[in-house]
Each structure stands twice: as structure tokens, then as C-alpha cells.
């Protein structure tokens, strides 16, 4: 007799959310989740704001207690690593050698931080911020350091930088590319972000990689392009990569972007053939970019959460194709909001698209209304339709990114977007919305270039 149990390897945004949904709608289906972490069901995205003391303590980030799992009939095994998958026997092996049979298997192993291959990266004092345990350790260590080097100008390090600065810790951010947040922003859109960090006292080094992390027992300095920067602590923020080791070991196909290759029903593949009863979802898979049609890795919480909805339906036998993605994202650095969706200029060029863009400096309120905030906005088109958007400001970014996501999803041209009605009141927007204005200007530029 084969098992009808659904086994999840990983209980993060994708795995746990899908399991919850199934448990609520189909309590008859037995479900087991294995997680290496001692605590599951917490908000990863909230950690920088606990460090920044906006949120009181890491416990606030725990969304569900083990009692909730029990009430839902979910068998959640924390602190339990899965060490192997036997696709023929339809079993997983856990630490210690015990095996469990599965009816359906979901690989939701998430991502692992990219660790730059530099000497000293294993020294005491080098931190990362992926799970709750990392967060607690970092919080404790932070109170005893005077200087930190953040390696990588990506979202996690930048969101955490204010926590260091508010504690009067010297912060140096080192990014190998010529700019911060290179995967979300064009170089000419980073000024407000860089100014904000510099004003708060951070030192930014771009266009240079870290040569080594130095110290006897623990971090003492970091070498960057010949220069030595004193540092008591290093925080790795050089991005993440799909955690695919277990899948790879089982012979499951890994795609061109480095994630597990799945079809649009989340079935994994072996030698190019989809496996009926094995699925993967979340940060560990790659998906299809809606503009370029190319495979991408999009390791953000909302994407994993959204996949979980599709995956749960799939596992209950009522699935619909998952479709393609634009990966809209918003990053909060102090009181600055940085939003992006679709392709950057560099992303266009890498995909063979000739970008046409327009950038505007605008405001979040009527110009005569007090306390309006600067808003920088850039829209990018492929000459015909909008393919990317970037916004940065102290308010008014979130809703506009979602609106632009919808516009790109619906393949709108700049002219069409510029003609859409908008709402207005002096305390919350200018009469002509920055999106409307920028889309109008981009439309004129596209027209001009066509002539």
C-alpha cells in the first residue's frame, strides 16, 4: 500500500503556507513537514526591523505556535534535517537514518546566503541574516561592536544598516558592482539611497570586491582594493542562492539560473521528464520571467507565498498553471522606500531588449501641502510596452509599485498608462500623479525615437 502522505522538506514561506492551506481545506490528507530550523512560521522579512528596534523582540515575528500546527493536524518536525530522497522507493531519510514514505513530496528547501570565496570568511564575527537564530545571534553581538563591514549592497544588508547606525556603530558597505542594489535599480536611481545612508554616517565603497577578511581568532579588519578597513564584525549580504543540494543528490534537474527546474504545476524533472509525485516551490526553484521568457530565481517572500497558493491547489487536485513572474519588491532602508518591478536597464540589455526610459523627480503631495516627500521615479519601455519601473522616496512607493506591476502584467504602453484616471487629494498626491507624468514623457520619448 502506498502512502497518501504529503511530505514537505522545508517549512518556510512556500512549504508551511501550502501545508496550512491544505490542512484547513482537506484535513483528511496526512501532512508531515521537516525543518532544520528549531522555530518555523516566523517572518524572515521582519528581522531587520527587530534589529532596528522598530519591532520589540524576535518573538513578535513568530506567527504561529506549535499548538496551531497540532490543532490543524499538521505533523511538524523542527530541528530535523532531511539527508536524502529516494525517488524510486518514494521515501525521505532524516538525520539518524530513519526513513519516511511519501505519497507526494514537496521540496521547499529555500535559499542559502551566497558566501563570497574570500579568505577569512569563516572567522568568528562574520554573520549572516537568514533565519531567526542568525537574527538573535546578530542582535546580541551588535551591542558589543564598534564597526561593521557589510559585504554586498543588496536588500538585507541595507535594511539592517540603520540598526548599526542607530547604535553609533561605524558602517562600511562594500558592493562589487558600481552601485547599491544593482539587481533592482539603475545606477542613476541610487542617489537618494546613497545620500540617505551617507547622511546617517555610512561609508559606501562600490566597484570593489572584498579581498580578505582578516583577524586572528575573530574579525579585526577587511581588505578592499588595497585598503584595510577596521571592523569588529562582518555581515554577509551578497545575495542568496537556491538551496538545491538535496535535490541535486537525488538526481533532480537544476535549471540554467541555478534553481530546481519545475513545470508550471511545480513538478520537478529528472532528465527532462516531469515527476508525477514530486514538487518543488519557493526560493529553491527557478521560474519564468514574464517579459523575457527566461528562467530566473526570485527569492522573495511574496513570491514563495503566492506559489504556496497555487501549489496547495495542485496538491489537492484542483491546480491551475502557475504562469510567469515580474517579481515586484520593496526594500525599506531607514525611512526610505525603494521599489522595483520588471526589468532594469541592465536587465533589458542582458535580455537583448533595447530599453527606452524616462526618469522624473516628483513629490508625494501637492506642492503647496507641507511635508511632501521627494519621489524619484523611472519607467522603462522596450520601445512599445512598459517593462520595468523603479521608485524611491519616503512615502508613496508601495501602492505605485503594485499599480505598475498590474500595468506591466497587462502589457500596457506608456501612452495607455498615462491616459488612465487617478485619484487625487493634496495631502496624499500631486494633481498629476508621478506615474501619469512619467508615463506621458516616456510615451513621447518612445514616439520620438521611432521617427
**SS3 label, residue 67:** helix
Least Å from the CB of residue 348 to its own copies:
19
Q: Which C-beta is closer to its own copies: that of 92 or that of 341?
A: 341
Closest of 130, 140, 191, 200 to residue 170, by C-alpha: 200
- Give the C-alpha separation, 387 to 379, whole Å: 8
Q: Which of residues 262-321 bind its own copies (CB under 8 A)?
A: 300-303, 305-306
Q: Which C-beta is closer to its own copies: that of 82 or that of 303?
A: 303
Tell whether residue 169 is a contact of its own copies (CB under 8 A): no
- Give the C-alpha separation, 364 to 371, whole Å: 9
Closest of 263, 408, 256, 395 to residue 328, by C-alpha: 408
Residue recorded with cell 521611432:
450
Q: Which of residues 373-412 bind its own copies (CB under 8 A)?
A: 396-403, 405-407, 409-410
Q: Which C-beta is closer to its own copies: that of 243 or that of 364?
A: 364
Tell whether residue 432 is a contact of its own copies (CB under 8 A): yes
Where is 21: in which H helix or E strand? helix 13-25
Among 28, 423, 450, 451, binds its own copies (CB under 8 A): 423
**Quick one: CA dihedral 434, 435, 438, 440, positive or negative?**
negative
Among 380, 435, 442, 446, binds its own copies (CB under 8 A): 435
Q: How far is CA 103 from the centre of its chain?
A: 31
Least Å from the CB of residue 436 to its own copies:
9
Question: Which residues are registered as beta bridge partners of 174?
Answer: 151, 205
Least Å from the CB of residue 196 to its own copies:
15
Tell whether residue 327 is a contact of its own copies (CB under 8 A): yes
Tell whether residue 366 is a contact of its own copies (CB under 8 A): yes
Q: Which of residues 26-65 bind its own copies (CB under 8 A)?
A: 43, 45-46, 49, 54-55, 60-61, 63
Determine contact, residues 124/220, Cβ cutoff 8 Å. no
Which of 45, 284, 327, 348 does the annotation list as catalytic?
45
Determine contact, residues 140/162, Cβ cutoff 8 Å. no
Among 12, 153, 157, 339, binds its own copies (CB under 8 A): 339
Q: Which C-beta is closer to its own copies: that of 83 or that of 422?
A: 422
Least Å from the CB of residue 112 to its own copies:
22
- Give the C-alpha separation, 148 to 171, whole Å: 5
CB-CB neighbours of 16 under 10 Å: 27
The string of DSSP codes covering 366-401 is -TTSTT--EEEEEEEESSSSEEEEEEEESSS-HHHH
**Quick one: CA dihedral 438, 336, 297, 399, positive or negative?**
negative
C-alpha angle 142-191-387 in degrees, rounded to nearest 5: 110
Q: Which C-beta is closer to its own copies: that of 92 or that of 138?
A: 138
Tell whether residue 205 is a contact of its own copies (CB under 8 A): no
Closest of 20, 53, 218 to residue 135, by C-alpha: 53
Tell whether residue 81 is a contact of its own copies (CB under 8 A): no
Q: Where are the alpha helices (DSSP H) in 216-352?
A: 245-249, 301-315, 345-350
327 as an active site residue: the answer is no
Q: Which C-beta is closer to its own copies: that of 350 or that of 420?
A: 420
Q: Which C-beta is closer to its own copies: that of 222 or that of 377?
A: 377
Least Å from the CB of residue 417 to its own copies:
8
- Give the C-alpha separation, 44 to 32, whole Å: 22
Q: Which C-beta is closer to its own copies: that of 55 or that of 94?
A: 55
Tell whether residue 450 is a contact of its own copies (CB under 8 A): no
Among 101, 288, 360, 369, binds its own copies (CB under 8 A): 369
Least Å from the CB of residue 398 to its own copies:
4
Query: Which one of 133-141, 161-169, 228-236, 431-439 is the stretch in contact with its own copies (CB under 8 A)?
Result: 431-439
Number of residues that bind its own copies (CB under 8 A): 59
Q: How is the beta sheet containing 170-175 ordered, strand by strand?
A: 126-127, 233-236, 147-151, 170-175, 203-206
Closest of 133, 191, 195, 129 to residue 164, by C-alpha: 129
Among 341, 353, 439, 442, binds its own copies (CB under 8 A): 341
Q: Which C-beta is closer to its own copies: that of 225 or that of 427?
A: 427
Least Å from the CB of residue 404 to its own copies:
9
Q: 434-450 and 398-409 helices cross at what angle (nearest 10)?
A: 40
Least Å from the CB of residue 62 to its own copies:
9
Tell whether residue 185 is a contact of its own copies (CB under 8 A): no
Residues that bind its own copies (CB under 8 A): 43, 45-46, 49, 54-55, 60-61, 63, 300-303, 305-306, 323, 325-332, 337, 339, 341, 366, 368-370, 396-403, 405-407, 409-410, 419-429, 431-433, 435
Which residues are the active-site residues?
A: 45
Amino acid at each position: 500500500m502506498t502512502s497518501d502522505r504529503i511530505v514537505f522538506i522545508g517549512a518556510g514561506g512556500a512549504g508551511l503556507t501550502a501545508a496550512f492551506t491544505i490542512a484547513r481545506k482537506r484535513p483528511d490528507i496526512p501532512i508531515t513537514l521537516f525543518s532544520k530550523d528549531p522555530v518555523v512560521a516566523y517572518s524572515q522579512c521582519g528581522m531587520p526591523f527587530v534589529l532596528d528596534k522598530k519591532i520589540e523582540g524576535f518573538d513578535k515575528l513568530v506567527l504561529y505556535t506549535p499548538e496551531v500546527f497540532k490543532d490543524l493536524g499538521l505533523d511538524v518536525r523542527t530541528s530535523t534535517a532531511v539527508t536524502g530522497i529516494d525517488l524510486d522507493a518514494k521515501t525521505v531519510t532524516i538525520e539518524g537514518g530513519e526513513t519516511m514514505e511519501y505519497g507526494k513530496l514537496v521540496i521547499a528547501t529555500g535559499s542559502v546566503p551566497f558566501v563570497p570565496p574570500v579568505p577569512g570568511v569563516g572567522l568568528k564575527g562574520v554573520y549572516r541574516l537568514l533565519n531567526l537564530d542568525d537574527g538573535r545571534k546578530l542582535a546580541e553581538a551588535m551591542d558589543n561592536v564598534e564597526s561593521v563591514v557589510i559585504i554586498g549592497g543588496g536588500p538585507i544588508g541595507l535594511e539592517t544598516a540603520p540598526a548599526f547606525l542607530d547604535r553609533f556603530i561605524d558602517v562600511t558597505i562594500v558592493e562589487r558592482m558600481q552601485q547599491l542594489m544593482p539587481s533592482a535599480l539603475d545606477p542613476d536611481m541610487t542617489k537618494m539611497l546613497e545620500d540617505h545612508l551617507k547622511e546617517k554616517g555610512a561609508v559606501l565603497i562600490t566597484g570593489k570586491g572584498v579581498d580578505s577578511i582578516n583577524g586572528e581568532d575573530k574579525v579585526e579588519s577587511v581588505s578592499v582594493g588595497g585598503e584595510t578597513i577596521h571592523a569588529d564584525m562582518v555581515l554577509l549580504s551578497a545575495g542568496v542562492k537556491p538551496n538545491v543540494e538535496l535535490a541535486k543528490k537525488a538526481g533532480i534537474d537544476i535549471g540554467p539560473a541555478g534553481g530546481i527546474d519545475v513545470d508550471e504545476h511545480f513538478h520537478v524533472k529528472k532528465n527532462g521528464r516531469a515527476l508525477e509525485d514530486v514538487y518543488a516551490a519557493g526560493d529553491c526553484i527557478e521560474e519564468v520571467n514574464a517579459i523575457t521568457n527566461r528562467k530566473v530565481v526570485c527569492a522573495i517572500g511574496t513570491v514563495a507565498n503566492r506559489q504556496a497558493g497555487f501549489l496547495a491547489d495542485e496538491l489537492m487536485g484542483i491546480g491551475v498553471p502557475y504562469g510567469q513572474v515580474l517579481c515586484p519588491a520593496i526594500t525599506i532602508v531607514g525611512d526610505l522606500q525603494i521599489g522595483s518591478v520588471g526589468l532594469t536597464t541592465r536587465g533589458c540589455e542582458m535580455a537583448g531588449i533595447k530599453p527606452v526610459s524616462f526618469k522624473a523627480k516628483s513629490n508625494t503631495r501637492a506642492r503647496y501641502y507641507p511635508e511632501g516627500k521627494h519621489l524619484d521615479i523611472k519607467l522603462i519601455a522596450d520601445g512599445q510596452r512598459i517593462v520595468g519601473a523603479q521608485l524611491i522616496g519616503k512615502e508613496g512607493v508601495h501602492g505605485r509599485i503594485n499599480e505598475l506591476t498590474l500595468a506591466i502584467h497587462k502589457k500596457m504602453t506608456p501612452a495607455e498608462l498615462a491616459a488612465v484616471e487617478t485619484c487625487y487629494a493634496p495631502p496624499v498626491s500631486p494633481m498629476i500623479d508621478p506615474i501619469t507624468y512619467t508615463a506621458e514623457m516616456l510615451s513621447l520619448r518612445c514616439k520620438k525615437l521611432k521617427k
